[in-house]
Amino acid sequence: MSSLEISSSCFNQEMKLPLSPPLVEASAFEPSRREMDEVGEKPKEIIKFTAKKLSVDEVSQFVISPLCGAVSLFVGTTRNNFEGKKVISLEYEAYLPMAENEVRKICGEIRQKWPVKHIAVFHRLGLVPVSEASIIIAVSSAHRAASLEAVNYAIDNLKAKVPIWKKEMYEESSSSWKRNKECFWATND
């Protein structure tokens, strides 16, 4: 028998699949309040401003939960250009007490709008070379819609409300401080 004949004979065999268990009332499988408390996790908010290089793996690990089927991430990186100028790095500064407070407020707003489990917001300070992450936001939730919408809300509001400033360092030895156009305190030029 050739290998072709062996392969085709395998497809003609009847496959036996296990039968599904009989349907049972859903309430029989619902855990009690005590069981939920024992296996439940308290929601976490991890907020970090650091001069160290950010790691997507590290940040995503903070929000992973066996109770969640979705982890959504936003990773903001330094691009190599702005308005025709070659950017070599960005430099970030923040007023930390206010920045941390504003990020906590944003986390609270997210929890009011979406059923999310854990939130992590890491922002790099100091010099951030091209292609490296300056911000990573991670959110976990039972389903993807909540975490995706929460991450989008987080970055939009962070740029609008959190006192973080960036300076673009250009190849021709010049630099320019940039304001976020979304900032509520920025004036229209």
The answer to whether 144 is a known ligand-binding residue is: yes
Six token digits for residue 48: 């970090």
The answer to whether 83 is a known ligand-binding residue is: no
Query: DSSP state, 110?
Result: H
For residue 175, give the H/E element and its range: strand 175-178
The answer to whether 118 is a known ligand-binding residue is: no
The answer to whether 159 is a known ligand-binding residue is: yes
Distance CA(163)–CA(180), nearest Å, equals 10
Six token digits for residue 178: 């940039």
The answer to whether 52 is a known ligand-binding residue is: no
Distance CA(150)–CA(138), nearest Å, equals 9
Cα-Cα end-to-end distance for the chain: 82
How many helical (H) and strand (E) elements, i.e. helices and strands, does the chain have? Answer: 5, 9
Distance CA(10)–CA(6), nearest Å, equals 6
Cβ neighbours of 173 (radius 10 Å): 7
The answer to whether 167 is a known ligand-binding residue is: yes
Binding residues: 143-144, 159, 166-168
Q: Return binding residues for substrate.
A: 143-144, 159, 166-168
